[in-house]
Structure 1
Amino acid sequence: MLLSLVVHTYSLRYWFPAAVMIGTAPAYILSWGACRLISAFLPSRIFRRMDDHLYNIYQSLVLFFFENYTGVEIVIYGDIPKNKENVVYLSNHQCTADWIIADMLAIRQKALGHVRYVLKDGLKWLPLYGWYFSQHGGVYVKRSAKFDEKAMKKKLSSQTVLGTPMYLVIFPEGTRYNPELKKMISDSQAFSAKEGLAVLDHVLTPRMKASHVAIETMRDHLDAVYDVTVVYEGTLGTSSERHPAPSMPEFLCKECPKVHIHFERVDVKEIPPESVFFRRWLHERFEIKDQMLTTFYESEDPDKKGRFPGEGQRSHLSITKTLPSLLFLGGLTLPMLLTESGRKLYVRTWVYGTLLGWLWVNVSP
């Protein structure tokens, strides 16, 4: 019985925050709908500001659980600009929690409401979220030959014409790196060798299409590219082997005590526009990541192993930046669930919102 209680208590560490984040979605969507109606006859920039503010509230709720609730220690190497910028965020990709790292950096720059993602096409079928990420400026893409360059250009061009603040998150590897998937890694290395590119050990060969289209489409709108490299400390074994990164449930269960984030700002003027040179530039950026990760995991020097180059600064996120969002969305959701009419509205929002969202996201580029 004691063991069952322990197991049950452990599972609550994940289910409680998951229930709150998912459960507040209908109230959030209804709030967004109300703002949309209010701003329908006002200049579009007013709606965009309201949308970014609401998005900031929801993402702050997410960070309340992924950072304050988990108590994870964030160590940042490099200087994050204090001022907001229009940027493309490029990072290595190893687990479903990677997009949370982008939020962690954005909130420290007071740009959380500006975060938008380039996402796998299949994620557009997520109930409510799939549609909302798209309307907030997110871009869904398919891999390789199915990649629709025109649709991505059209979506990003429409954002830049409106002057939308941009913090566009892209994971150029496309697929999550998992050290246990040996064949995936060897196939990636074989492709690099075939193309005359450096073979990478701790990251996959980056795909250039989405990154190149994003940067070139928005070049006049962008200030910089943020080149980010992430390590979840639990992936460092007792010897030199690398373990898989934590899943989102494992992260929420407080199984990731520390995250190392290496940050480098690259001025957009330094990035070559031609596709051939851009491909080389992007691969060289991932060569740098691979060298840092190799040192992190495999260095025989104890002063270099388990850390990135330079001085790491521990960065604590004040709970005052995230707790208000929990109280706000919780305050909207609970009254809905306490009355019969509220519960009906709650369910209808999930059902009709999902159906309309699926229709919208599949007819809108």
Structure 2
Amino acid sequence: MRQWAQNLFFMMRLFAPGDLIITLDESCTRGENEIDGEDDNEEDRLERLLSRNKSGEVIGISFPDKLIMMANHQILVDWIYVWFLAYLSKAHGSLKIMLKHSLSLIPIYGTRLEHDKDTVIKNLERAKKRDNPMWLVLFPEGTVISDDTRARSKAFAQKFNMDDYKFALLPRTTGLLLCKDVLGDKVQWLYDLTIGYPDIPAGENPEDVMTMKRIFCDRNGPHKIHIHVRRYRIDTLPSDPVQFTQWLFDRWAEKDKRLIYYNQHGKFPEEPILEDEDELCYRRDRTIKIPIKLQHTVRECFGYWLYFLFYVPLVLAFIKLINITYVAALHHLQ
């Protein structure tokens, strides 16, 4: 799967180039006990999460080996940008995504949870027992925003006397709660991503604007993908289904407010205002800019072929030796 992902990122660089603008919340640099040491500088804690090249550009972000990650679902290729986030942590071979069946060509644990619950639990239990890294990614909204899903979300909100969101759908809690309950004793953190795309006109659904055709055929996809990252200790989250549902609704309300700000200002409220956005590649700041590209294109994308080329001279020499031996034997028989 690592090779498949690396080839995908190579194709993204050719046909859908863009940069991730990543903002790491303060929760991402707190210690395991959520308490900051007095002698531990905030800037140093942040730098320990980042990898830089010789020029000082950020080329990697450190995440735990095992985690659960949730995100809002704006367009059908959201998962690619989340996958690249895993690549920055060298975890792109460990990603599992819980999505609807229409995206079953990517690595998925479950599709329709109400029918696949036992299978999902078995897979989660199996993954929990392994020492291998694991990123389990969920989109609790279940689908992207459309006129139909917006109407259903609004009807559900009215039925339960709730406020509907403007740039998000009401999340479903069953899948996330199940994953938390099964993995909670082995996975320490739940990461919460808020993803925002530029150039979405007011009143338009993101998926209607950023279509697959526009992104990959017209090469006019989102050139800046803004991602706000926050994390929560799983053992501090509510275990009661009703309380957990309310907790998730509260998080989505915060997410919607952040998206409202983003659509008004073109940035999340936590992002700095800079005249030159390229500074984000080098700044020692919570908001960083990383291009969607492989760090070692030839080796990562064509590595297997390079190994094969190494053996070509040996194979040719072996064939030549066989040919010489055959000719000599034939001459001897004559």
Question: Is TM > 0.5 for Structure 1 vs Structure 2?
Answer: yes
1:239-281 CA distances to partner (integer Å, 9 max, x unpaired)? x444523233422343122111111112212211221111111
Which SS does the other structure have where 1:198 is aligned? coil
Name the counterpart of 1:288.
254
Which amino acid counterpart does residue 134 of structure 2 have in structure 1? M
Name the counterpart of 1:326.
301
Name the counterpart of 1:96.
76
State which of 90, 93, 98 in structure 2 corresponds to 1:118.
98
Which structure has the highest helix share of the two? 1
State which of 166, 182, 189 in structure 2 corresponds to 1:201.
166
Contact 1:72 1:259 (C-alpha < 8 Å) held by counterparts: yes
Relative distance call for 1:169 and 1:122 in structure 2 (3 A) is same
1:63 has 2:13 as partner: no
Q: Distance in 2 between matches of 1:83 and 1:261?
A: 15
1:307 has 2:264 as partner: no
Name the counterpart of 1:357.
none
Question: How many residues in Structure 1 have an aligned counterpart in Structure 2?
Answer: 256
Once the 2 structures are TM-superposed, how far is the Cα of residue 158 of structure 1 from its aligned partner?
1.4
Contact 1:85 1:223 (C-alpha < 8 Å) held by counterparts: no
Unaligned runs of 5+ in 2: 29-48, 50-61, 272-286, 310-334
**Alpha-carbon RMSD:** 2.5
Name the counterpart of 2:280.
none
Of 199-208 and 63-72, deviating more is: 63-72
Which amino acid counterpart does residue 206 of structure 1 have in structure 2? P
Once the 2 structures are TM-superposed, how far is the Cα of residue 114 of structure 1 from its aligned partner?
1.4
Once the 2 structures are TM-superposed, how far is the Cα of residue 177 of structure 1 from its aligned partner?
1.1
Once the 2 structures are TM-superposed, how far is the Cα of residue 162 of structure 1 from its aligned partner?
2.3
Once the 2 structures are TM-superposed, how far is the Cα of residue 62 of structure 1 from its aligned partner?
1.0
Q: Which has the larger radius of gyration?
A: 2
Q: Distance in 1 between matches of 2:145 and 2:247?
A: 21
Unaligned runs of 5+ in 1: 1-54, 300-304, 335-365
How many percent of aligned residue pairs carry the same amino acid?
25
Once the 2 structures are TM-superposed, how far is the Cα of residue 83 of structure 1 from its aligned partner?
4.2
1:130-177 CA distances to partner (integer Å, 9 max, x unpaired)? xxx3xxxx312216xx44322211111111122342101111111111
Which SS does the other structure have where 1:112 is aligned? coil
TM-score of the two chains, using structure 2 as the length reference: 0.69
State which of 100, 103, 110 in structure 2 corresponds to 1:140.
110
TM-score of the two chains, using structure 1 as the length reference: 0.64
Relative distance call for 1:123 and 1:251 in structure 2 (3 A) is closer
Contact 2:18 2:291 (C-alpha < 8 Å) held by counterparts: no
Relative distance call for 1:97 and 1:329 in structure 2 (3 A) is farther
State which of 234, 248, 255 in structure 1 corresponds to 2:212.
248
Q: Distance in 1 between matches of 2:152 and 2:308?
A: 47
Q: Distance in 2 between matches of 1:163 and 1:266?
A: 22
1:165-195 CA distances to partner (integer Å, 9 max, x unpaired)? 21011111111113xx1x4312212202322
Contact 1:296 1:306 (C-alpha < 8 Å) held by counterparts: yes
State which of 237, 240, 263 in structure 2 corresponds to 1:274.
240
Q: Distance in 2 between matches of 1:197 and 1:217?
A: 29
Contact 1:63 1:103 (C-alpha < 8 Å) held by counterparts: no
Name the counterpart of 1:31.
none
Contact 1:115 1:169 (C-alpha < 8 Å) held by counterparts: yes
Which amino acid counterpart does residue 308 of structure 1 have in structure 2? F
Structure 2 counterparts to residues 1-365 of structure 1, below 5 A: 55-67=1-13, 70-78=16-24, 81=49, 82-124=62-104, 126=105, 133=107, 138-142=108-112, 146-178=114-146, 181=147, 183-235=148-200, 237=201, 240-245=202-207, 246-252=210-216, 253-255=218-220, 256-297=222-263, 299=264, 305-311=265-271, 312-317=287-292, 319-328=294-303
Which amino acid counterpart does residue 173 of structure 1 have in structure 2? E
Contact 1:60 1:321 (C-alpha < 8 Å) held by counterparts: no
Name the counterpart of 1:21.
none
Of 155-164 and 215-224, deviating more is: 155-164
Which SS does the other structure have where 1:141 is aligned? coil
Once the 2 structures are TM-superposed, how far is the Cα of residue 317 of structure 1 from its aligned partner?
4.8
Which SS does the other structure have where 2:20 is aligned? strand
Q: Distance in 2 between matches of 1:170 and 1:87?
A: 11
Once the 2 structures are TM-superposed, how far is the Cα of residue 123 of structure 1 from its aligned partner?
4.5
Once the 2 structures are TM-superposed, how far is the Cα of residue 71 of structure 1 from its aligned partner?
2.7
Once the 2 structures are TM-superposed, how far is the Cα of residue 318 of structure 1 from its aligned partner?
5.3
1:21-51 CA distances to partner (integer Å, 9 max, x unpaired)? xxxxxxxxxxxxxxxxxxxxxxxxxxxxxxx
Q: Distance in 2 between matches of 1:122 and 1:257?
A: 26
Which SS does the other structure have where 2:206 is aligned? coil
Relative distance call for 1:226 and 1:155 in structure 2 (3 A) is same
